Structure 1
Amino acid sequence: MTEIPPGEERHLLFNQSVEKGLAVLRAFNAQRRTMHLAEIAEAAGINKSSAQRMVFTFEQLGYIRKHPATRRYQLTPRAMEIGFAYLAANALIDAANPFLAELAKLSAETCNLTEPDGLDMVYVARFVSAQSVPVHMPIGSRIPMYCAASGRAWLSALPEDEARALVQRSDRVAHTAATKTQVDDIMDAVRQARERGYATNQEELYLGDMTLAAPVLGARGRPVAAVHVVAPTSRWTMEEARQRLAPALLQCARAVSSSARLID
């Protein structure tokens, strides 16, 4: 039997129908809660015929429904099955939850676990403070690595050249007047995080939002996630946060890392 070259084998095995189907599901978001078929095709980057087949299939499977009055399509609760399956199967989340809960209790602030995906950090666990927070970030929310404390914490545990390459690939837009967008400035913040053991973000992503984050390391010493605590500027100064929150944050990150090394 003739052996198929590795690159060609990947090409033959790649299923474009699955790719198009996932593109349809991912087309829905906070800005596109409901869409007509043509809008779905445009958002998913596929032609209308392909969109029609995918939408019909997902409608029959119960992942998409059409509103009887507006005739616009929207996701159903069944679409959450895919994301929830990841959360349920993620042993790191189970291991981290007790330590996040303790950090939230000690700090009286919202504490989170995020994992990397491409150039973003994704919220996978969250303990919300009884006090107000500037921004609601539900599980599954994504934030860009380059301007988030959790992203910089994760980058700080990578080799310098690897971290720089990711920052260079990022779409470094200014979300606020405080956002660092120059590669060298961001890498300076990453190096400071490496020296201190934790990273910071002071209103670079959202006004009123200040966070401290530390990396979670796996068995091979590579970062697998980040823990961060929210310190709203209405209640904290950066100096106060460093003095009172950083020690507990670092202790939490070390505890989660110990669990991660057993899982990894």
Structure 2
Amino acid sequence: MKRPGKKVATDRSFVVALSRGLDVLRAFQPNDGLLGNQEIAARTKLPKPTVSRLTYTLTKLGYLTPVPRFEKYQLAPSAMALGYAALANLGVRHLSEPFREEVMRETGGAVAVGGRDRHSMIYFGQSRNGLTLGVQLDVGSRIPIATTAMGRAYIWALPDDERASLLRDLRDHYGSRWARMRDGIERSGETVARYGFTISAGEWQDDVHAVGVALKLNDGTGPYAFNCGAPAFRFTEDRLRSDIGPRLVAMVRNIEAALGGVTMPQSKKEEGKRVRPGGKVARVVEGIR
């Protein structure tokens, strides 16, 4: 987990102690159960003595529950209440559910909606059934932005300046692994320009293929992004392009209309236009090397 940058840390309005406390809470993942100070320190990149003070304080405030037998902690109901309150306020989660369920039934794929959390997308709505055994993610699960269809759809839905900032952040975060990821992001930009959706075919998990589509609203929130994925043998790349992707695009456009979002339909000429390598998409990604 990345610590606050120098500019943020020297901002007089920025409360570093609060940031670190939230980092500790963020260290807990859906399937973790219990975490000790050593594990939290490794995930947050904070010194262990600092983590010890933070876990003590969060315990006193009711956000962590200590488990003395194992010298570890688990999230307490007060922390979980924050998450449930946030979910309750996400109208897109509730309104999109019947749309997600329909696409899930039609395609046999798992359909999720998520938003950004630093270098990840976090699921806040998920629809799946027995046919999607290879996709075991649920509400609260995190997936990387750079290599997933949902994350890439989010990237290309951002305004130019915000996208450039995020790409620089991802470059710094991934270091030597960035070059390959950058190429995948560039390809996804070309796919969005041509088809309206992104593809991740084994680039995050070898056996999972998915498409992603961004949701843009006119109320200042988001963007959010949806994906539809399944085991690779069920969602071939050809099917992603010819069937799953177009279905997800149509679903998101319907959700935008239901939410009162603003959509900008492309002309037939623009829909058929292919962005060639070395064009605008390439320049955008190359510009943050």
Residue 101 (structure 1) shift: 1.7
User: Alpha carbons of 1:183 and 1:161: their partners in 2 closer, same or farther (altered >3 Å)?
Assistant: farther
Taking the aligned partners of 1:66 and 1:161, their CA distance within structure 2 comes to 43
Q: Is the 8 A contact 1:62 1:76 kept in 2?
A: yes
Taking the aligned partners of 1:173 and 1:234, their CA distance within structure 2 comes to 32
Match of 1:212 in 2: 211
Match of 2:249 in 1: 250
Residue 210 (structure 1) shift: 0.2
Q: Which deviations, in whole Å up to 9, do the C-alpha atoms of 1:92-120 show, x marking residues without a partner?
A: 21222221122112222210111223332
User: Alpha carbons of 1:73 and 1:211: their partners in 2 closer, same or farther (altered >3 Å)?
Assistant: same
Q: Is the 8 A contact 2:135 2:230 kept in 1?
A: no
Give the superposed CA RMSD: 3.4
Q: Which deviations, in whole Å up to 9, do the C-alpha atoms of 1:222-256 show, x marking residues without a partner?
A: 96111211132122311123223223211111012
Taking the aligned partners of 2:38 and 2:141, their CA distance within structure 1 comes to 26
Consecutive unaligned residues in structure 2, runs of 5 or more: 1-6, 263-289
Are 1:133 and 2:133 matched, yes or no? yes
Consecutive unaligned residues in structure 1, runs of 5 or more: 1-6
SS of 2:146's equivalent in the other structure is: helix
Match of 1:3 in 2: none
Deviates more, 1:217-226 or 1:81-90: 217-226
Give the AA of the match of 2:152.
Answer: R
Match of 1:228 in 2: 227
SS of 1:136's equivalent in the other structure is: coil
**In the TM superposition, what are the counterparts of 1:193-208 in structure 2 within 5 Å?**
193-208=192-207
Give the AA of the match of 1:128.
Answer: R
Taking the aligned partners of 2:202 and 2:47, their CA distance within structure 1 comes to 40
Taking the aligned partners of 2:253 and 2:57, their CA distance within structure 1 comes to 46
Match of 1:73 in 2: 73
Match of 2:275 in 1: none
Give the AA of the match of 2:197.
Answer: Y
Taking the aligned partners of 1:182 and 1:41, their CA distance within structure 2 comes to 27
Taking the aligned partners of 2:206 and 2:216, their CA distance within structure 1 comes to 30
Taking the aligned partners of 2:70 and 2:149, their CA distance within structure 1 comes to 42
**In the TM superposition, what are the counterparts of 1:1-264 in structure 2 within 5 Å?**
11-29=11-29, 33-37=33-37, 40=40, 43-46=43-46, 50-159=50-159, 162-170=162-170, 171-172=173-174, 181=180, 183-219=182-218, 224-261=223-260
Q: How many residues align?
A: 252
Q: Which deviations, in whole Å up to 9, do the C-alpha atoms of 1:112-167 show, x marking residues without a partner?
A: 11122333222111001221332422212222222111122222334566535533
Deviates more, 1:203-212 or 1:95-104: 95-104
Identity, % of aligned positions:
25
Taking the aligned partners of 1:185 and 1:44, their CA distance within structure 2 comes to 28
Residue 74 (structure 1) shift: 2.8
Q: Is the 8 A contact 2:135 2:231 kept in 1?
A: no
Taking the aligned partners of 2:222 and 2:79, their CA distance within structure 1 comes to 30
User: Alpha carbons of 1:109 and 1:222: their partners in 2 closer, same or farther (altered >3 Å)?
Assistant: same
Deviates more, 1:237-246 or 1:249-258: 237-246
TM-score (norm: length of structure 2)? 0.72
Give the AA of the match of 2:190.
Answer: R
Taking the aligned partners of 2:169 and 2:128, their CA distance within structure 1 comes to 32
Give the AA of the match of 1:27.
Answer: A
Match of 1:4 in 2: none
